[in-house]
């Protein structure tokens, strides 16, 4: 490479500005072999983001997907974007961008290895072995250097990616999310079992919240896969846009994206619809990974305000469904300390960062060291407020 990074002769590295140029079967087969694959890195998902106009250059997400071939076969890959802003990432570097601006230097564009708008931890460096994974990590920083970009970033990486980025000299940053994980020592069989395992004040609060929703006359229907018809998708998307309107922002995902999901990944979606007086009033969309028995809270919205309806639609109903269907993990999305009172415990997340300017790299390294200490103290404090009666931590 132009920056001096050597590439072993047996590898061919390519950069693609359109994910559909990459063979879908080869990509998905590589993804399936990873230790922490998720549906959000499936070729169909990434291609839909591009084809629907959701993650494209016009929205600040210019694809620069990297593939590594060995012997004519796909040995490594990374969903990589040239980013013109930091929206839709959920790992916040606005202060870094402002520091660059004040120094008279451009922070954007930057390179980003992530799933757009999706703060779900998982594999980012798809690789057949550690040698390819290390090559991918070096390739990302080499590309950023060759393109004279400020930086390269990889968000919500798994443990093997973390090790690869650390070997490549990247800076590591920790965050916190809240997940429910089925107990290995004493598995729960129902939502009532989950309630019984919580401390009395937590049980009482949840019971009160659920009672308020029921007394408001709200009922639910559940729709999975192909049973989510066009009308339900239309209603869900309307609710989804209302959530963004309430926060005076613009939805990231277009209706066409969800049409593509219905066509190509229907089996990965679960929809809860709230009804009152014969009318639909809210919807909550959950992503499913049947192979790993994991569910992911994604999007929700309501046409009518009902107290506590958000908790019922986004936590209690999905958790009850997971327990009923033998799922082992439910991830509630980014941030949200309030999730602890509902049985979701703190889980550390990791992102990796490379900055081309050594002065800024040194300053960010110092910041991350201090921030990491605060994160550690925060997690310790959260664990002291464990909501379960026996103080148990669910299995990782």
pLDDT tens digits, residue range 17-65? 999 999 999 999 999 999 999 999 999 999 999 999 999 999 999 999 9
- pLDDT value at 2 more than 60: no
Which pair of structure tokens corresponds to residue 320?
């009850």
Domains of the chain: 11-169 (3.40.630.30), 179-346 (3.40.630.30)
pLDDT (tens digit per residue) in 255-310: 999 999 999 999 999 999 999 999 999 999 999 999 999 999 999 999 999 999 99
- Residue 33 CA to residue 48 CA, distance in Å, equals 22
> Cβ-count burial of 180 within 10 angstroms (0-12 exposed, 13-18 middle, 19+ buried)?
buried
What are 367-388's pLDDT values in tens digits? Answer: 999 999 999 999 999 999 999 9
Higher pLDDT, 338 or 68: 68
Q: What percent of the chain has pLDDT over 70?
A: 97
For residue 1, name the pLDDT band (cuts at 50, 70, 90): low
Strand partners, 171: 353
Q: At what angle do helices 130-146 and 159-167 cross, to 10 degrees?
A: 60
The separation between CA 12 and the C-alpha centre of its own chain, rounded to angstroms, equals 29
State the pLDDT at residue 3.
55
**Cα-to-chain-centroid distance, residue 241:** 19
Is the pLDDT reported for residue 150 higher than 70? yes
Whether residue 395 has pLDDT greater than 60: no
Q: What is the pLDDT of residues 69-108, one digit of tens each?
A: 999 999 999 999 999 999 999 999 999 999 999 999 999 9
Does position 226 have pLDDT exceeding 50, yes or no? yes
CB atoms within 10 A of CB 263: 10
- Quick one: what percent of the chain has pLDDT higher than 90? 91
What does pLDDT average to over the chain?
95
Across the range 315-339, mean pLDDT stands at 93
pLDDT at 392: 60
Confidence check: pLDDT of 14 > 60: yes
The pLDDT of residue 394 is: 44
Length of the chain: 396
Query: Hey, how many other C-beta atoms are within 10 angstroms of the C-beta on 24?
Result: 15
Average pLDDT over residues 193-201: 95
Is there a contact between 300 and 284 (Cβ–Cβ < 8 Å)?
yes
Instruction: Read off the pTM.
Output: 0.94
The dihedral sign for the CA sequence 60, 161, 42, 268: negative
Edge-to-edge strands, sheet with 11-16? 11-16, 65-70, 73-78, 126-127
Mean pLDDT value across residues 167-186: 95
List, in order, residues 6 or more apart from 325 with CB less than 8 Å away: none
Task: Provide the sign of the torsion angle of the four alpha carbons 300, 304, 305, 306, taken in this order.
Answer: negative
What pLDDT, on the 0 to 100 scale, is given for residue 8? 80
What pLDDT is stored for residue 389 in this prediction?
87
Backbone φ and ψ of 121, nearest 5°: -65, 145
């Amino acid at each position: 490479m132009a920056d001096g990074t050597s590439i072993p002769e047996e590898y061919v590295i390519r950069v693609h500005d359109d994910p559909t140029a990459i063979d879908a079967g080869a990509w998905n087969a590589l993804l399936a072999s990873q230790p922490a694959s998720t549906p959000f890195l499936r070729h169909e998902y990434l291609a839909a983001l591009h084809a629907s106009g959701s993650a494209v250059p016009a929205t600040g997400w210019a694809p620069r997907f990297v593939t590594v071939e060995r012997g004519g076969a796909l040995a490594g890959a990374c969903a990589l974007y040239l980013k013109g802003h930091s929206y839709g990432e959920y790992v916040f570097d606005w202060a870094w961008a402002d520091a660059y601006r004040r120094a008279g230097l451009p922070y954007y564009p930057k390179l980003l290895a992530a799933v757009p708008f999706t703060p779900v931890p998982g594999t980012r460096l798809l690789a057949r072995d550690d040698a390819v994974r290390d090559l991918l990590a070096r390739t990302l920083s080499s590309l950023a250097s060759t393109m004279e970009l400020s930086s390269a970033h990889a968000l919500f990486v798994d443990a093997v990616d973390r090790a690869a980025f650390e070997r490549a000299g990247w800076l590591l940053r920790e965050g916190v999310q809240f997940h429910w994980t089925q107990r290995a020592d004493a598995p729960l069989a129902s939502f009532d079992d989950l309630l019984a395992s919580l401390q009395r004040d937590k049980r009482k609060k949840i019971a009160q919240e659920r009672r308020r929703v029921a007394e408001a006359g709200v009922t639910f229907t559940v729709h999975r896969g192909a049973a989510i018809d066009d009308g339900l998708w239309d209603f869900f998307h309307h609710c989804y846009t209302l959530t963004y309107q309430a926060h005076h922002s613009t939805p990231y995902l277009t209706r066409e994206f969800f049409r593509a999901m219905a066509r190509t990944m229907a089996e990965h979606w679960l929809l809860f619809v709230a009804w009152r007086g014969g009318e639909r009033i809210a919807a909550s969309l959950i992503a499913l990974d049947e192979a790993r028995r994991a569910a992911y809270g994604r999007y929700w919205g309501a046409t009518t305000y009902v107290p506590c309806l958000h908790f019922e639609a986004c936590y209690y109903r999905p958790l009850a469904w997971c327990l009923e269907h033998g799922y082992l993990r439910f991830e509630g999305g980014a941030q949200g300390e309030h999730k602890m009172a509902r049985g979701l415990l703190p889980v550390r997340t990791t992102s990796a960062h490379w900055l081309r300017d050594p002065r800024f790299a040194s300053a960010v390294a110092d910041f991350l060291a201090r921030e990491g200490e605060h994160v550690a103290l925060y997690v310790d404090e959260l664990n002291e407020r464990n909501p379960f009666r026996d103080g148990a931590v669910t299995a990782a």
